[in-house]
A and B are shown apart, each in its own frame.
Chain A
């Protein structure tokens, strides 16, 4: 168990550019979440995958955001035409398949810190 990994850890970009982040969940975890966290706030839900299916997406997520999990393993989060307001920490978490006990625990990655200049 190597934990949830996220790449890159830091990304600085200019306004208007596209960025893509990657999340590698714990192997065999079929559930995957993306969150956004700004300074002094709690994580804000963005989207949820069960295997390769995107089952829920926050209404706060604009059309500039898209996430994929093509083979039910790693996931990518893309932000198009970045804005300064997109600057935040983007967190990924995975959960095992079991529906009770440890299946309810989310395991978080270290996050990708995005700075939009």
Chain B
């Protein structure tokens, strides 16, 4: 079973609004990553935050990490219709080589 869980499972917003999605995980990590997946396609890496970082920015993306709560959030500002996709968090499970993905948030941005 997946260790990560995103919420909400689905999010629908108007173009120009901000979108926030959250991820929770269960074990110690070295880093947490966010990926985007357009329908029926492979995943694209968006941003990585290390366990000793609390916040990171990349363009319209802002990621926070709270290791005490084992949670992360991804904020997409000024959303565009092209941001419509599923977003997944992934954690590297400490002591293993695997990456564990969450269940995803399906974002729909209405033009």
The residues of A with any CB-CB pair to B shorter than 8 Å are 4, 33, 35, 40-45, 48, 50, 55-56, 58, 89, 91, 93, 104-111, 113
Contact = CB atoms under 8 A, between A and B. Distances in A.
Contact of A42 (B31, B45, B98, B102): B102
Contacts of B96: 56
B100 interface: yes
Interface residues of B, number: 24
Given A41-B2, A43-B101, A44-B2, A105 B45 contact: yes
Q: Which applies to chain B's interface (DSSP): helix, strand, loop or mixed?
A: strand
A91 B44 CA distance: 12
B4 A42 contact: yes
A45 B99 contact: yes
A88 B4 CA distance: 20
24 contacts: A42-B2, A43-B43, A44-B101, A45-B98, A45-B99, A45-B100, A45-B101, A48-B97, A48-B98, A56-B96, A91-B42, A91-B43, A93-B43, A104-B33, A105-B33, A105-B45, A106-B43, A106-B45, A107-B45, A108-B35, A109-B42, A110-B41, A110-B42, A111-B41
